Structure 1
């Protein structure tokens, strides 16, 4: 495996931070070296310096491939399903109540990794929400990792990803494939729209419009305080007034931004953009 000096790791970390807001320091040396070793070999670069020059010049779209190598896509269906219960028991009910007659609801999973979360939302609504056919529901999944988005659109998963799904749900929405794999049925794949986004780039988040509910779980933990505040501001602007954001169980928007109100429901704590902006 390629050996990288402390200074080279700092240069790589700074390069990644400026483009994504994610923090990778010397404490993650082994993780960094493994991924850089993969990219050096993939580009047939003779040294770290030659690879870094290629990266900065974005030869062959290397920046995108570099960023993809550092994203974490560990997830599975129905992860933190208490928030899905909160969605159908409380959040959508409130959004409907203030909807001013609109029949449209927009939900955003960001980052969506390889698609398990937005597809879980789609299946949960179909199975658990009696009003699902009454509303025009748009589910969007976004991620900075373009490789993950490609896998999400394909919709093929291994057994571990399905471990929390009841057998009847798997039978209804998946078709068995060779090699102990399962593929989502086309009708479900077509219910989610996928697109790339960088949460610290306001221009990119703005392109997606505004949403009633955003699921943004387990990504802000990879940012520093400055990047978290930038991402929080962008997420705030991506919510409709009165809209909700769901974070991971170890994350708290109260420690990041004063823009959101804390809402406590039976199935979880979420954060709300006030109806009257501040």
Structure 2
């Protein structure tokens, strides 16, 4: 005869008492803190409460380090509540060079950043004054400049020229987007030409350089402002420090690509603390 193995086994129920008794002592003492509630400042080493950091415009209240912000956070920082109207949302990214895996990277970036591309452009009011604003977001493929980024910035500047409005543009980028090759590099000339026409119309253009601003963005519209502002300690440059040192065979000064060094050597007009940025921009707009 066949013997059947028992299908049902006795279940050992885990009681609260058993669970606590079986926990290692270090687990008993460890507090149950949700992930992301506290962060350690990577400049001064102080422990920061995330909600306090957000309420302080993402500035460490111990050392003043300016943490990176999203496009939405920057728009909320300087644009009057309820006045921002996004433009050119219909422009979509394609894969012009049929670069393998590019679509997947773009889709992942969309999911992570909740954006369609690495720049948001629109029209809004700053203390009641109409401006055209563009904000690059490093959460989308490190703010790299592809054809859509260049097109959106160019259209925003052209709209400002047509409506006789100033342009304020926040830069944050790792440079040109390699997946689009020379098409990406063409955006440097296109955006620069749009700024030249805006300038010829006697209109004001202010780029605000944030951490990091590098590569083709630095070599084009980031450095073409009537006044060039920056946040404290922002990394600003074209090539990386190691690349330059290997090329010229020399050791470079400490912090030579930080905003403070560039201000000292005439590349910037002013470094502005984030808390004072909106009022500073308003004063510049008033003077102009």
* Same structural fold, with TM-score higher than 0.5 when normalized by the shorter chain: no
Higher helix share: 1
Rg larger for = 2
The higher relative CO (CA closer than 8 Å, separation ≥ 6) is in 1
Q: TM-score, normalised by structure 1?
A: 0.25
